Amino acid sequence: MIAWSVVFFFLGFGVWSFQAGHLMIVAYLILSAILYFFYAFLVKCPRCGVPVLLKPMKILGMNVFRWSLLIPERCRHCGETLS
């Protein structure tokens, strides 16, 4: 989070005066969201293979997943300690 914030600050500070500087900041935000989306699905528990950044919820009998920003200490599915 700190590294992302620093890059966002320096990118914004450096390109805001350009003609399309604000579009570069929007592109950075969109690219960051896309990369985090893929990261959330690729980081899995070594024991059960369930993505650790996804939080399962039951809504109307269906499993719906939402993601968390930080990696939990234990897997939500099997309880394995994550490092």
What residue type is assigned to position 28 of the chain?
Y
Instruction: Compute the distance between CA of residue 29 and CA of residue 23 in angstroms, rounded to an integer.
Output: 10
Residue 31, C-beta contacts closer than 8 angstroms, at least 6 positions apart: none
Residue 75, C-beta contacts closer than 8 angstroms, at least 6 positions apart: 45, 47, 48, 50, 52, 82
Provide the residue ranges of all domains of the chain, joining segments of one domain with +.
1-42, 44-83
Instruction: Compute the distance between CA of residue 79 and CA of residue 58 in angstroms, rounded to an integer.
Output: 19
Give 51-60 pLDDT, tens digit per residue.
888 887 889 9
Give 8-56 pLDDT, tens digit per residue.
777 777 777 777 667 777 788 888 889 888 888 888 888 888 888 888 7
